[in-house]
Amino acid sequence: MNKNLSKLSMSIKVGLSATAALTLAFTMPAMAQDAESDTANVEKIAVVGSRAAPRSVGDSPVPIDIIGSDELAKAGNTDMLEILKGTVPSLNVHTNPISDAATLVRPANLRGLSADSTLVLLNGKRRHRSSVIAFLGGGINDGAQGPDISVIPSIALKQVEVLRDGAAAQYGSDAIAGVMNFVLKDDAEGGSLQVRHGEYYEGDGTTTEISGNVGMPFTDSGFANLSFQYKNADATSRSVQRPDAAAFADAGLTVEDPAQIWGSPEINDDITIFGNVGLDLGNDKEFYMFGNYSERDVKGGFYYRNPTTRPGVYGGIVRNLDGTPSYRPGDDDPTGQAAWDAAPATVLVGSLDGLEQQLNCPVVEIGDNGLPDQTALDSLTAANCFSFNQMLPGGFTPNFGGNITDTSLTIGTKGEIKEGFAEGILYDISGAVGRNESQFFIYNTVNASLGPDTPRDFSPGKYIQLEKTFNFDLVKLIDADLYDDINLAGGLEWREESFEVIAGDEASFVAGDLFSQGFSVGSNGFPGFKPSDQGVSTRRSAALYVDAEVPFTEAFLMGYALRYEDYDTFGSTTNYKISAQFHATDDLSFRGSVSTGFRAPTVGQANVSNVQTNLDSGVLVDSALLPPTNPISVQLGGTELEPEESQSYTFGMIYQVGSVFVTVDYYNIQVEDRISQSDKINLSDEDKEVLKDAGVQNVDGLAQVSFFTNDFDTTTQGIDVVANYTTSLFDGSSTFALAYNWNETEVDKFSDITGEFKVKRIEEDLPNHRATLTWSQSWDSFSMFTRLNYYGEYQGVHVDYDATAITADSAVTVDFEASYFVNDAITLSAGAQNLFDQDAEKINIPADQGIANNTWGGVYYETSPMGFNGGFYYLKATYNF
């Protein structure tokens, strides 16, 4: 083996990288796991953050967290997002009930930035993003479109590497907050089978999961490692009956109790399969291939439709929370307002004989008891008239769901050029394709314009995200008479990203005969995509990068990276990064970096349109999301989207002596022109006429519009502290780990289309302080794992309404797992998350707002960083072979 290969680290791993990837391991398959056999004594090795040979996290010039397979298995959760949240304090994930598509694929926030500001990789290659755009993303994630991390099963992973530093100059778009690299297992033998069953202390959310992993030889010189996970999870409910629904039930109408569910969605047939294949081709060359197939069905709650106030279905006069009639949208005449206030409330009635006969239908007034006049309702049939109060007298609550399918395949080859002018150069050539499809469903609702002929269940259509990536990467070690060789890397990347909209079933979007009589069009709550919405939007980009790591002395290392990237939409961008590490003593070193970065707007964000139902100041309204170049968007301040741009710097220290390992890092991230969904802007009559002229249906039923925009700048700063200590206690092995994060985001600049409350949500929804303290104890036949989770104060918000906001108290939860090793093959475990059932902050709306806490049926603030479902216990059996 020549000089280049002699310098490689344990496991014969060489730093080869894709431009969109982290350092790729050039691994001799049969030897890949030998160094991992005794995890207690093996230094944690990372390939993230550098294109040189993999190094220990203590020798990295940038902060990195390594989460090994053992820790992943003890996390007590099956959702990768929740596993990472419990391990990385700077990562936050919300439960997101009643949040449209954000309920199907939950966004995660690293360092307080949006979900699509973190680059996600699998085996060092860029992971495709989800087709789901978080239209109701709770302020921070409004409009975010990041990868679906939840499809990755923990049993498939060798380790997870979290780079907590800006890295767009190395890996391209999205790596503003950091990078997550999920490394698949590469064993050529052995495996495990695991069964896990549990439920919440409340008796709901019952979850059953079966997962497995097997390593097999792939000829005599390779491996094929396969993993699967199959899961079902029942829905949860942390709800009480709404006062309006309770009143209807007391009056004898049939209403579900509770009428509106706040909780986690139901997940059915969640199947995911991952494969990882490697083959030594001889002469220091290797073939690799990995990919996945994942699919799941998700079904969650939605807002209750009040049978006297829901516009376009039941009609009536929409009333404010204090009971007074609301202002008729678009009516600027004070005299007309007075007449509107004095008018009796009526239900919406349509004639089945057509618009010209509607005025001949009986008027159905809503009486002082809050119910429609039954005699008038009974007279509708004889007049061939119709009201939904006949069909659904107690109102209804839609259920929103979807089928999420995720697939990917990466194939490549890597090795070393042995002769000629390029002798000694390491190369990596790869191609990847990733596809994510979201097929939406909405149940128990109506297309009001179809009247009595409406179906109750609809398929509103699909979103499809498709990405193709090709990489060519080179690495060369250069002898420059320094302490060690310079590692010089360069490469090319080509990417194509498309976002496709598929029309829904006809009933989900068609305008029925009652449309002209004031009845709304489309499946209520989530109207279907029309054939005119259908189409594919595509963007291509090409990138060139070069980087170098220069070991000037044994104690001083510097890294340099430069990346140029050109997009066929908004143009080009160039970014740089400079990093350094200095070993002051054998035990103490300092590190830091300065970098610029960017995040390109996604194709979906630039082109998608959608109608959604949301609460505005506590009142249920329909709002339309329009492309930023739509005439209405432009009239209201929209422009073609540009990339976000960032400037970041970090500075930290590492102290390591004996079994004590401590890192402290400060970071500062300034992001300009952040992309997000604008505040929802009320439509004027003139705006509606423009929309009608553009062919938009159901305009009169729309109250608001929004669009994606580059509208605000932020500065995020914080401190990460990580400390580990290993010792022997109680005749066993003990490991203690402390992780702490202080994170603060300030909005430096914004316009009126962002809105002050959204700014407040970006700055205050997430806790400024988070910490975990872990104790892992093991003996020959028994082990236990305990973790304390601290969540600092945060802003409690309910139904995205500023009147509900409070400062919620800090809280501590405890996770615990105990395992008994029956023999070398079988392990039995029992554990609990939130062992002592610490409640989330209960909804406590300030008294001066005059709003009852149970107005919308919720119990806890949905912004709780620890979730609001309470304690969860589980049993687990593992068979290793």
Summarised one tens digit per residue, pLDDT across range 796-810 is 999 989 999 999 999
Residue range 179-202: mean pLDDT, rounded? 96
State yes or no: pLDDT of 878 exceeds 90. yes
For 78-89, the DSSP string reads S-HHHHHHHH-T
Give yes or no for a contact between 547 and 140, defined as CB atoms under 8 angstroms apart.
no
Task: Tell me how far apart the alpha carbons of residues 162 and 364 are, in angstroms, rounded to a whole number.
Answer: 62
Q: Which single residue is written with the structure tokens 């059932």?
A: 837
Q: Which single residue is written with the structure tokens 């059915």?
A: 268
Q: CB-hemisphere CA count at 13 Å for 272? A: 27
Task: Tell me how far apart the alpha carbons of residues 347 and 512 are, in angstroms, rounded to a whole number.
Answer: 19
* pLDDT tens, residue by residue, 136-146: 777 788 888 99
Question: Which pLDDT does position 344 carry in this prediction?
Answer: 72
Question: Which pLDDT does position 320 carry in this prediction?
Answer: 46
The band of 172, judged by pLDDT with boundaries at 50, 70 and 90, is very high
Spatial CA neighbour of 178 closest among 137, 262, 239, 118: 118
pTM greater than 0.85: yes
The band of 15, judged by pLDDT with boundaries at 50, 70 and 90, is very low
Residue range 180-202: mean pLDDT, rounded? 96
Q: Which single residue is written with the structure tokens 């220990």?
A: 56
| Token pair listed for 464 | 């499809």
State yes or no: pLDDT of 165 exceeds 60. yes
| Token pair listed for 11 | 């496991």
Between the alpha carbon of residue 426 and those of residues 421, 479, 488, the distances in Å are 13, 15, 10
Cis peptide before 258 (omega within 30 of 0): yes
Question: Which pLDDT does position 793 carry in this prediction?
Answer: 97
The band of 46, judged by pLDDT with boundaries at 50, 70 and 90, is low
| 368 or 180, higher pLDDT | 180
For 389-454, the DSSP string reads HHH-TT-B--EEEEEEEEEEEEEEEEEE--SSTTTT-EEEEEEEEEEEEEEEEEES--BGGGGGG-
pLDDT-wise least confident of 407-411, 514-518, 537-541, 594-598:
514-518
Residue range 87-92: mean pLDDT, rounded? 89
Residue range 270-278: mean pLDDT, rounded? 98
Beta-bridge partners for 64: 163
Residue range 160-185: mean pLDDT, rounded? 94
Question: Which pLDDT does position 107 carry in this prediction?
Answer: 87
Residue range 557-581: mean pLDDT, rounded? 96
Residue range 165-190: mean pLDDT, rounded? 95
Give yes or no for a contact between 102 and 301, defined as CB atoms under 8 angstroms apart.
no
Question: Which pLDDT does position 410 carry in this prediction?
Answer: 98
State yes or no: pLDDT of 626 exceeds 50. yes
Mean pLDDT of the residues in the chain? 88
The identity of residue 69, as a single letter, is: S
State yes or no: pLDDT of 679 exceeds 50. yes
State yes or no: pLDDT of 110 exceeds 70. yes
The band of 30, judged by pLDDT with boundaries at 50, 70 and 90, is very low
State yes or no: pLDDT of 659 exceeds 80. yes
* pLDDT tens, residue by residue, 708-720: 999 899 999 999 9
Task: Tell me how far apart the alpha carbons of residues 568 and 549 are, in angstroms, rounded to a whole number.
Answer: 31
Spatial CA neighbour of 192 closest among 238, 152, 167, 158: 158
Question: Which pLDDT does position 337 carry in this prediction?
Answer: 53
* pLDDT tens, residue by residue, 443-455: 999 999 999 999 9
The identity of residue 558, as a single letter, is: M
Question: Which pLDDT does position 221 carry in this prediction?
Answer: 94
Task: Tell me how far apart the alpha carbons of residues 507 and 79 are, in angstroms, rounded to a whole number.
Answer: 35
The band of 316, judged by pLDDT with boundaries at 50, 70 and 90, is low
Question: Which pLDDT does position 97 carry in this prediction?
Answer: 85
The band of 339, judged by pLDDT with boundaries at 50, 70 and 90, is low
State yes or no: pLDDT of 694 exceeds 80. no
